[in-house]
């Protein structure tokens, strides 16, 4: 099977198809403050480092790790989502250059495109609405749709099942974080492509299983169209 036989493309959102521009960190700072952790404080710095290292993971999972008990984690998650929603509503949300065109071209090539996220469904829908992307993909998935978020394979495998794709060898998983790469490799995807427009660099992407590293999502249709 060649790379041109890929039928299903599972794309991450923030950092891959949607510009992050520090929004996750800004929203995290608001969540930390809601839990009494001042941005810039000695307690805050290792927390922020963990957020950066685990970009791509389900946000509630990150907050469970950081804040311990479920009540505090849920409170932090609500504050994070509200802050992120406010930033999106204020216009701080843009597509990665060439992303919409790449998605359109992938579908024109006959491939199914699924957009996935580590955010909640409410946050994902806010982003899609802000970009006018409600119909841009064949399917959108968040961790609640799949069971577990990244780095588990659930999002990619749920995309395969929902789209009735025949084999994991017909799947490409694309993202900007090591956790995206782990999701792809654990799902058995034939192509696990990292992009350099988000959280992690080429070394981290390759260490976590990237089969390809691209400058941006704009290069993906050309890669999959190669014979």
Low-confidence ranges of the chain (pLDDT < 50): none
Give the DSSP H or E segment for 175: strand 171-175
What does DSSP assign to residue 62? H
192 three-state secondary structure: strand
What single string gives the DSSP state of each residue in 40-69? TSTTHHHHHHHHHHTTTB-HHHHHHHHH-S
The 10s digit of each residue's pLDDT in 152-209 is 999 999 999 999 999 999 999 999 999 999 999 999 999 999 999 998 999 999 999 9
Which among 33, 13, 12 has a CA at the least distance from the CA of 80?
Answer: 33
Cβ atoms of residues 88 and 127 within 8 Å: yes
């Amino acid at each position: 099977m060649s790379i041109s036989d890929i039928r299903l493309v599972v794309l991450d959102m923030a950092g891959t198809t949607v510009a992050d521009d520090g929004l996750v960190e800004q929203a995290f700072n608001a969540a930390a403050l809601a839990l009494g952790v001042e941005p810039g404080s000695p307690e805050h710095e290792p927390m922020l480092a963990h957020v950066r290292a685990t970009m791509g993971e389900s946000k509630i999972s990150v907050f469970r790790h950081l804040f311990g008990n479920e009540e505090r984690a849920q409170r932090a998650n609500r504050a994070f989502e509200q802050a992120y929603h406010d930033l999106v509503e204020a216009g701080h949300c843009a597509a990665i250059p060439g992303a919409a065109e790449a998605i359109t071209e992938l579908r024109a090539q006959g491939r199914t495109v699924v957009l996935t996220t580590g955010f909640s469904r409410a946050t994902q829908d806010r982003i899609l609405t802000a970009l006018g992307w409600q119909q841009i993909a064949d399917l959108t998935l968040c961790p609640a749709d799949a069971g577990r978020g990244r780095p588990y394979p659930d999002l990619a495998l749920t995309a395969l099942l929902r789209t009735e794709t025949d084999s994991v060898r017909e799947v490409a998983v694309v993202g900007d974080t090591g956790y995206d790469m782990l999701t792809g490799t654990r799902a058995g995807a034939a192509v696990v492509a990292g992009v350099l427009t988000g959280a992690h660099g080429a070394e981290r992407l390759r260490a976590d299983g990237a089969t390809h590293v691209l400058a941006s999502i704009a290069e993906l249709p050309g890669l999959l169209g190669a014979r």
